[in-house]
A and B are shown apart, each in its own frame.
Chain A
Amino acid sequence: EAQVTQNPRYLITVTGKKLTVTCSQNMNHEYMSWYRQDPGLGLRQIYYSMNVEVTDKGDVPEGYKVSRKEKRNFPLILESPSPNQTSLYFCASRRGTSGSGTDTQYFGPGTRLTVL
């Protein structure tokens, strides 16, 4: 089954404790991205990756890091989480440059992060 998976689904942590949210897709997609969802703001892009070892900032990258060492995985790293990073996070993937602009973007189930 084609899917995007994220782990963990729920995470409660404390300020300053480094964490990683994993994301994996099994569709051989080139393009992957991370979004955060906040009430009244919709989804905002944090980082994206066009392919292995190619990443770039989205609209709200501060406080986040990413890496793309393998095509299928795109982890999101919070080196020193703060309460304003409490949010719902989604990983997404689509075919990317080998496809067309109309390709569907597939989303993971989300990770609800609370930073105390």
Chain B
Amino acid sequence: AQSVTQLGSHVSVSEGALVLLRCNYSSSVPPYLFWYVQYPNQGLQLLLKYTSAATLVKGINGFEAEFKKSETSFHLTKPSAHMSDAAEYFCALRLSGGYNKLIFGAGTRLAVHP
């Protein structure tokens, strides 16, 4: 069965520090992988997506993620956190081969303190 696991429901970093949000997946076929961000009282916004073209994917707002098949991981990073990065982040997968359904992880709430 397909699934997404996000390690750490809450992550707290200092402004300017590295942001690392972990995502591991389980999939029977090659997946497409996505990171979404949800700011307070807003819907989900796509940060970046892995579509098998390149393993290192760059997204908006300085975020990037690396697809590692051997580790079944798709961790999200940002070199220097900004206060405006405080939000909830969701990792999601969609199976390749014509599937439409997005399977989400439980989410990680990122707090950034001065």
Q: Does B82 contact A (CB under 8 A)?
A: no
For A30, the closest partner residue in chain B by CB is B100
Among B61-69, B73-81, B103-111, the one that faces the other chain is B103-111
Q: In the bound complex, do residue B101 and residue A48 qualify as a contact, i.e. CB atoms below 8 Å apart?
A: yes
Bound: A102/B31 CA distance, A: 10
**CB-contacts of A30-73 with B (<8 A):** 31, 33, 35, 40-45, 48, 50, 58
B55 to chain A, nearest CB (A): 15
Task: List the interface of chain B (C-beta within 8 A of A).
Answer: 4, 6, 9, 32, 34, 36, 41-46, 49, 51, 90, 92, 94-102, 104-107
Q: In the bound complex, do residue B32 and residue A101 qualify as a contact, i.e. CB atoms below 8 Å apart?
A: yes
Bound: A105/B106 CA distance, A: 18
Total inter-chain residue pairs, C-beta < 8 Å: 62
Q: In the bound complex, do residue B99 and residue A101 qualify as a contact, i.e. CB atoms below 8 Å apart?
A: yes
Task: List the interface of chain A (C-beta within 8 A of B).
Answer: 4, 31, 33, 35, 40-45, 48, 50, 58, 90, 92, 94, 96-97, 101-102, 104-105, 107-110
* Residue with the highest number of chain B CB atoms closer than 10 Å, among A31, A102, A108: A102
Q: In the bound complex, do residue B51 and residue A102 qualify as a contact, i.e. CB atoms below 8 Å apart?
A: yes
Contacts of A102 in B (CB 8 A): 32, 49, 51
Contacts of B32 in A (CB 8 A): 101-102
Contacts of B96 in A (CB 8 A): 101
